[in-house]
Amino acid sequence: MFDAERLIADRARAIDASGIRKVFDLAAQLENPINLSIGQTDFDVPEPIKEAACRAIRDGLNKYTVTQGMAELIERVRGSFSAAHGIDGRWDDYGTLITSGVSGGLMLAIMATVERGDRVIVPDPYFVMYKHLVRMAGGEAVYVDTYPDFLLTAERVEPLIDDHTKLLLYSSPSNPTGAVLGGEAIGDLAALCEQRGVLMVSDEIYDAFCYEKADTPTGPRTPSAADYTDHALILRGHSKSYGMTGWRLGYALGPRPVVEQMTKLQQYTFVCAPSMVQKAAALAVKDVDLAPYVRAYRRKRDMVVEKLSPHFELNIPDGAFYAFPKVPGDQTGTQFVERAIANNVLVIPGNVFSERDTHFRLSYACDDATLEQGLNVLVKLAE
């Protein structure tokens, strides 16, 4: 007799989606919920980028590109990155790969480096995908407790490194906390990883959304691992910065041997990133000014802090577009989220992003009216 359940691989069973599923099962019962859950910008793709993509389609750019990505986009990405991080003259050591989103880059990076018995250090809280990708590769996620300030430091990481440690995987600016690592902290982590032979994998998808710029070797901006080491794998993308979440485009820069293996794996999985999107992104890197969007999101961040800080324990998020408040009283994050959903506000319990269930994540990537309405409900629940 046919039994589909018997066919399911252990790697699939190891992934527990119950936390997210429960939230959306509850949300499905709501009509027009106040949605503070989605990590997706509320602004649309800028018109010049839309037009570039449409023009590429009309011009017949609808076939595969080479696996590593279009030469024009690679040149633009490398030029922009080099100008920001001062790595001219060091490109012989760097591989470059255009990926199907940063999520695609994460999967390729982990599949290229992690196997059964390997350990990957991740900060807790973490982006929800990290631990599941590590499990899919047969590795073990080792959690760095970063509560209550959510800052990853060499002092917190060093005791967790052993002979089986392959990667340190983190995001800055962070999803879900909005925390941004300073240059000194990244420099210390880079030195530790080089000394212990651990690859830093720096997820920098939110690098454009940083509200408290730090001093770096090339000026005040979001610090990157690339400022302090040539031995980190940098993952960035266009999805958040340009409102292109559905277009699935990112890129990886890092040690050439690692990126070459990622490229080989992409050839047999994603094949290549979407061709017309690559063409449009080449324009985005060159011609689109993100400053107005960043200013708008800083204003939204300030609204969140002003409304919630008197009622919740809240670390001020310095980047991305998330806040990670601690729930008041002795209730769990899940219990608070259930109450929020019962009041038509959709947020995510902290245990989706953490081994703890004491916080919740909200996204302020929505219009100002929706944000204010949702924050008012959350304040009432706290009171």
Q: Name the H helices within the chain.
A: 10-13, 18-27, 47-58, 71-85, 101-113, 129-136, 154-157, 183-196, 256-267, 275-287, 291-308, 333-342, 368-382
Mean pLDDT by 10 residues, the chain (383 residues): 86 75 72 88 89 93 94 90 75 87 96 96 96 94 97 97 97 96 95 97 94 68 89 92 88 95 96 93 79 91 97 95 95 94 94 96 95 97 91
Identity at 380, one-letter amino acid code:
K
Question: How many residues would you count in the chain?
Answer: 383
Instruction: Write the secondary structure of 315-356 as one string of H (helix), E (strand) and C (coil).
Output: CCCCECCEECCECCCCCCHHHHHHHHHHCCEECEEHHHCCCC
CA dist 258 and 162 (Å) reads 21
Q: What is the pLDDT of residue 219?
A: 59
Q: Dihedral sign, CA of 252, 256, 260, 261? A: negative
Distance of CA 17 to CAs 22, 46, 223, Å? 9, 34, 32
Question: Please, what are the domains in the chain?
Answer: 4-44+291-382 (3.90.1150.10), 47-287 (3.40.640.10)
Closest of 214, 263, 271 to residue 94, by C-alpha: 263
pLDDT (0 to 100) of residue 79? 87
Which are the contacts of 245, defined by CB distance < 8 A and separation ≥ 6?
Answer: 40, 41, 239
Q: What are phi and psi of 96, to 5 degrees?
A: -135, 135
The CA–CA distances, whole Å, from 89 to 66, 136, 194, 230 equal: 25, 37, 21, 12
Please check whether residue 298 is in contact with residue 212, taking contact to mean a CB–CB distance below 8 angstroms.
no
Give the pLDDT confidence score for residue 90 in this predicted structure: 66
Q: What is the pLDDT of residue 317?
A: 96
Per-residue model confidence as pLDDT tens digits over 44-67: 898 889 999 999 999 998 999 999
